[in-house]
Amino acid sequence: MATLLIKNGTIVDIDHEYQGNILIEGEKIVAITQTELPADQVIDAKGKYILPGGIDEHTHLGSFGGLGFETTHAALVGGTTTVIDFAPMHEGETFSEAIEAHDQTAAGIASCDYAFHSMVMGGGHQGLFNDVKNLPKHGVSTIKLLMGYKGSEYYSNDETIMHCMREARKYGITTMLHCENSDMISYLTEILEKEHPEQTIDHYYSRLPITEVEATHRGIDMAILTRAPLFIVHVTLKDSMLAIRDAYNRGYPIYGETCTHYLLLDKSYLGLPNFEGAKYVCAPPIRDKANQEPLWEALRKGWLTSASSDHCALIGGFEKKKTGYGDFAKIPNGVPGMQERMMMLWTYGVETGRISRQKFVEITATNPAKLINLPHKGRIAVGCDADIVIWDDQYEGEISNRESYQGIDYSAFEGFKVKGRPDQVFLRGVLMAEKGQFVGDKGQGRRQYAKPYGRCFDYLKHSPEVLG
């Protein structure tokens, strides 16, 4: 089997960093040494950091109208070697059928590795809950439910959520929840649509902070009632984050993530003229700037455990307009970002001193792997897949959609300065991207099979008395 040595780099993991040489044989890391071992190919990474390939735990490649797995070379260019994508469910399908159908859209097409979360659509039914036990067979250890889209196929009511939570807990499946209060949103939308439906910023005013905070508290209470571990997705607000932190500190296995755009963009983008604001429409909406530092603090202190992209690539000037022009409530939700995520978090997290390099690795790779329980991903360690990023922290540049592989007409981070980017990106030992260019073969991504009892169950293992 061909061997590759990456020598002299500074290897970063979640606890420390050290100089070392990484020997890769085939697809795996087989040794990490201080001595120089012989290899077929040697790369000198002196002066650079060696990071585990990023894992983006929240992407919509084909759901919510977003472009699909054919665009996943963009993730690799940005240093992400695995995406965890939501498998949409079509009418009458079980989880198992939806997962296998979604795999058909990825197999032989995805360029990076990929795993799936299940996602309840169509309101849920008993047959669906009975199928939860089959998820481990399909390599899926998470189910997402969405509270915020009443009137659409994505919506689940509280009863469905609690039935699903209870069933999920029995089989080591982690419940993920999108927390927004649909009734409050409908009430506000009706009023605002009568007044000035053409104002994109009203997407924000129809989904005010209270709609997320209320639903977050309710989601936590439902998890406590059903005694289920809970992972709250795309947290945008200080107050939602504090609810998660406080529940965890009270002894409940409640966790959450935020996303790149909530850390770096604010609601003023929604007010951009000429329908430009539509490009930033997502749910929950981007918020007041005052929430950004608390979200960084939460990442630093472990109150939120990761930062995903929630990548959902819709053509800004076309798809967003097609249904949304003239009515803010009909603008499709979604912001792209799987290519920019790692660079943005490094530049505005590590380079500003908000988070350490160790924390960067933890929130971009190690914790996402633990969320769904993929022990061979998200770390630089012997036996793990050789998903490796040689990171150049001296690179300086600017985000431009001209350099994007995401396949749409805008970047949400256009014009942002960056300091640091992937110099070389290896997927299972194969060079896939170099200095902002995709250099691999497309379609080489491989499906990853998660195991039940991901990290949100850790608390249960250690404190069974908390949940009985």
Q: Which does 283 bind (CB under 5 to 8 A by kind): Zn ion, ligand URP, none?
A: ligand URP
Q: Which does 378 bind (CB under 5 to 8 A by kind): ligand URP, Zn ion, none?
A: none
Residue 392 interacts with Zn ion (CB under 5 A): yes or no: no
**Are the CB atoms for 41 and 393 separated by under 8 Å?**
no
Measure the N-to-C terminal CA separation of the chain; round to a whole number of Å. Answer: 50
Give kind and range of the element (H or E) at residue 25.
strand 17-25
d(CA 429, CA 2): 10
Helix (H, G, I), strand (E, B) or coil at 369: helix
Closer CB to Zn ion, 57 or 310, in the complex = 310
Residue 283 interacts with ligand URP (CB under 6 A): yes or no: yes
Closer CB to Zn ion, 310 or 340, in the complex = 310
Q: Which stretch binds Zn ion (CB under 5 A): 22-30, 89-97, 309-317, 451-459?
A: 309-317
Q: What type of residue is 85?
A: D
Closer CB to ligand URP, 312 or 408, in the complex = 312
d(CA 35, CA 283): 50
Q: Which does 341 bind (CB under 5 to 8 A by kind): Zn ion, ligand URP, none?
A: none
Q: Which does 238 bind (CB under 5 to 8 A by kind): ligand URP, Zn ion, none?
A: none
Task: Give the nearest distance from C-beta 29 to ligand URP in angstroms.
Answer: 33
Pair of tokens at residue 375: 């022990």
Pair of tokens at residue 409: 């007409």
Which 322-361 positions form the footprint of ligand URP (CB under 6 A)?
333-334
Residue 178 interacts with ligand URP (CB under 6 A): yes or no: yes
Cβ-Cβ contacts under 8 Å for 155 (sequence gap 6 or more):
123, 146, 147, 148, 149, 182
Query: Environment class of residue 169 by beta-carbon count within 10 Å: exposed (0-12), middle (13-18) or buried (19+)?
Result: buried
Residue 282 interacts with ligand URP (CB under 6 A): yes or no: yes
Binding residues with ligand URP: total (CB under 6 A): 9
**Are the CB atoms for 116 and 82 separated by under 8 Å?**
no
Residue selected from 13, 202, 310, 387 as contacting ligand URP according to rule CB under 6 A = 310
d(CA 460, CA 468): 9
At residue 254, what are phi and psi to the nearest 5 degrees?
-115, 125
Closer CB to ligand URP, 147 or 384, in the complex = 147
Which 47-106 positions form the footprint of ligand URP (CB under 6 A)?
60, 64
Q: Give me the residues paired with residue 456 across strands.
A: none
d(CA 276, CA 176): 31
Residue 56 interacts with Zn ion (CB under 5 A): yes or no: no
Residue 310 interacts with Zn ion (CB under 5 A): yes or no: yes
Closer CB to ligand URP, 314 or 418, in the complex = 314
Residue 173 interacts with ligand URP (CB under 6 A): yes or no: no
Give kind and range of the element (H or E) at residue 232.
strand 230-232
Residue 308 interacts with ligand URP (CB under 6 A): yes or no: no
Task: Tell me which residues touch ligand URP (CB under 6 A).
Answer: 60, 64, 178, 282-283, 310, 312, 333-334
Task: Tell me which residues touch Zn ion (CB under 5 A).
Answer: 310
